[in-house]
Each structure stands twice: as C-alpha cells, then as structure tokens.
Amino acid sequence: MSRKPKKGYFVRGQFVAEGSELDIQLKAELKGTPDASRTDMKRESDELQDLGKDLLGLRADLFNNVGLPDKLVDAINEAKRITNFEGKRRQMQYVGKLMRKLEPHLVDAARQALEVQRTGSASDKLALHLAEQWRDRLIADDGALPQWMDEHPGTDTQQLRALIRQARKDAPPADKAAESQGLAPRKGRAYRELFQLVREHLGGGADDADDQDDGGDEDGND
C-alpha cells in the first residue's frame, strides 16, 4: 500500500511539510508575530540606549546644536557627574528611556553630530588642508607671498613677512635618521602662528590646531 504524500510546498528547493516546525516558522515570519515585533523593539531600544551612552562623550558645541529636550540634557549631564558604577547604570537606563521618546529627526540629528565628531566635517578638513598647503608654500617659495596678498589683501603684510622669515630661520636641518623612523621634526612658534594667521584669513577659527604642530617651542616658551 502506497504511503499518502504529505501536503506542503517548496521554498528555495526545499520541501516544507504543512504543520512542520519549519512551516510554522516561515508563516510566522510572513505574518510578523508578536515575538518578531518584540525582537525588533528590543533591538531598537538597545540601539537608542547605546546612542544615549555615546552622547556623554559628544563635544559641547555639537551637543548643544542637536536640540535635545531639556529633561534629556539634564539626565545626560547628571550621568556625566555620577562616578558610582551602579548609580551610573541606573542613570543610563533613565537616559535610554528618554531616548526612546525622542522624535526621529532628533535621533538622526544626534547620530549625525556623533559622526561629525568622529570624522570631522568635510569642509573643516578641506580648510585645514588648504591652510597647511598655503603655510608650506609661503615658507618654501618667495613667489607665494604676492599671490597670497592678491587673494587676501587684508592680511597684515609686515606680520606675514616676519612670520615667514622666522619660520624659515627656525626650520631644523634635515634629520635623515628621524625621517626614516617616521618622526616629524619639531616646529617653532612662528611656524604655528603662520598657520593660524593663514587659517583665520581662509575663514577658520583662531583656535584651530594643525595636527603637525603638537610639539612646543625648542626654547620651551609656549
């Protein structure tokens, strides 16, 4: 006596018998069961909790520009002050609860602010790179000064010339051994001040830092 064939269907070449565990699972995924919804909600909740934690380290100017509700701002500031592990954990749970009530556009704004802090805005990077190029050209090439003055006639020529002269004077002799080890030579004050002057005229802030100028003056006068 032949066995009665099972009822079912094929999914990606695999036979799924009706009533089987796989059949129930597939139908549940199609319908979107409460369990699936709870999983999605838990994942979203965890993401917002992590986002709230990241906001503790967000730079003040970027943080203020997000436009978060006062209650959430106060909760985050309080979390920064708490040093007790358990107290901080409870406070962060409260921050997470407030994060889940945020409007989507504020969540996006918070993520964008964190991204700007991580990578820096493209315009800032471009301006810094341009300032570095101009500084190096002014030091290396006498012909760069007239071109700079044509493009930026408001520059104090006397101050600019003095900084260029001093930066050239302070330039250390080539150190092949240090260069082979990837060590950048230390720069003098004039080198950094020339960068700041150029940066200001290109539209940057006076407190921007050149990533090549971490060292102090050779004479320690910074």
Q: Which amino acid is at 84?
A: N
Q: Each residue of 179-191: pLDDT tens digit?
A: 455 544 557 898 9
Domain 122-201 has CATH 3.40.366.10: no
Intrachain domains 34-119 and 122-201 with the same fold? yes
Please spell the DSSP secondary structure of 74-142, one letter per residue. HHHHHHHH--SHHHHHHHHHHHHHHHTTS-HHHHHHHHHHHHHHHH--HHHHHHHHHHHHHHHHHHH-T
Q: CATH for 34-119?
A: 1.10.60.30
Domain ranges of the chain: 34-119, 122-201
With tokens 């341009």, the residue in question is 130
Report, in angstroms and rounded to the nearest whole number, the Rg of the chain calculated over CA atoms.
30
Taking the CA atoms of residue 37, residue 40, residue 42 and residue 44 in that order, the dihedral angle to the nearest 10 degrees is -140
Residue-averaged pLDDT of the chain: 79
Closest-CA residue to 138 (of 178, 193, 184): 193
Per residue in 9-49, pLDDT (tens digit) is 777 778 878 878 777 777 776 665 555 566 777 788 888 88
